[in-house]
Amino acid sequence: MASGGDSPGDVSSDWAATSLVDLTSPELAKASTSTMDSGEDFEVLDDEEEDDMSGLPPLEDVPASKTTVAKDDAQGSTSEQPSEEGSEAVEEWMDILGSGLLKKKVLVAGQGRETRPVKNQDVTIRLKATLEDGTVVEEHPSLTFTLGDCDVIQALDLCVQLMEMRETALIQSDPKYCYGSQGRSPDIPPDAALSLEVELLEAKDAPDLELLSGKEKVELANRKRERGNFHYQRADYVLAINSYDVALKVIGSSSKVEFSPEEEAELLDVKVKCLNNLAASQLKLDHYEAALRSCNQVLEQQPDNVKALFRKGKVLAQQGEYSEAIPILKAALKLEPSNKAIPWKWLFGATAVALGGVALSVVIAARN
């Protein structure tokens, strides 16, 4: 079963309009008007200059020891202790990362620190997102996502873990932790800061992966993979890698449920797509050894997977291992006529680079 492939053009441009809504929740995934990709593995074979990664939002944990509280100068408020009833507002800003780029203020106190959610739990929140001019760009009475899985913007992932049950908070986020320099067409412009009003409604442990049926595992892994595709299309390669890793963890988890042969085949198909996309993301970050491992895992399952062969040959050629790269690229070239996802020019160009490198090495050796 050869892996399918979405080229970058095949992944729907509607991804750019994906909302803050969680893509791991089956109910919300069905309700969302955003168009998911076609279920195929997208392909990256362009050889353009690597994107500048300096502006990408890092995966950051909340540094509890460095979390500071800054007084709200505009309100001139003083610190107040949350009441036992949870109805008293605490009018102070918490500087989440110590940089002033992500701040949280309690509007309605919650039920105590012991009720805070933890990573990998499924949380449900009420959300209202606005631009600096007050324009409402997102509103959800009940939004569910897995905390820490990069299913939503980082501002939510980082701040919700510091909220107490039934707490209502106002979050002010720099564009870096929202939609960055690309924005979200048509309602969020590039480099737009957001204000998020959030109420934590529920937090519960995610479903036990061992008890999921084959169909449920396929659906969950695909939703995580699709979120990875979304991050990839926005050049958020670190976040894409995280999403693909989560999907692979779902697929690789042990199970107490028997799967049908068809479900096993579907899981393998999703695994191959995730590994191919993971390799593409790793290549964008010049993580060659990691990309090589991902390609090898694909080829263990599907020795004739053209994308994995091409990427493996590309990695080896870039590492100067031309004698190893050439037969792999030749194998991919031989298989290419039956797979239109890979243009001849890329295979030919990569092979030419490899052959050129070998020729140069021979000349240098001869001169010495």
In this predicted model, what pLDDT tens digit does every residue of 262-312 receive, in sequence order?
Answer: 999 999 999 999 999 999 999 999 999 999 999 999 999 999 999 999 899
54: Cβ contacts below 8 Å, ≥ 6 apart: none
Report the SS3 class of residue 128: strand
Any idea which of 76-90, 222-236, 252-266 has the lowest mean pLDDT? 76-90
Query: pLDDT > 90: what percent of the chain?
Result: 60
CA distance 100 to 94: 9
pLDDT tens for residues 117-166? 999 999 999 999 999 999 999 999 999 999 999 999 999 999 999 999 99
The pLDDT of residue 322 is 86
180: left (phi over 0), alpha (psi -120 to 50) or beta: left
At residue 196, what is the residue type?
L
The pLDDT of residue 340 is 53
Q: pTM of the prediction?
A: 0.70
Higher-confidence residue of 71 and 96: namely 96
Please report, for residues 116, 124, 210, 306, 332, the alpha-carbon distance to residue 203 in angstroms, rounded to integers and kept in the order given: 8, 6, 20, 43, 48
Mean pLDDT within 172-180: 95
Residue 171 has pLDDT above 80, yes or no: yes
Q: What is the largest CA-CA distance in the chain?
A: 84
Rounded CA gap, 170 and 196, in Å? 6
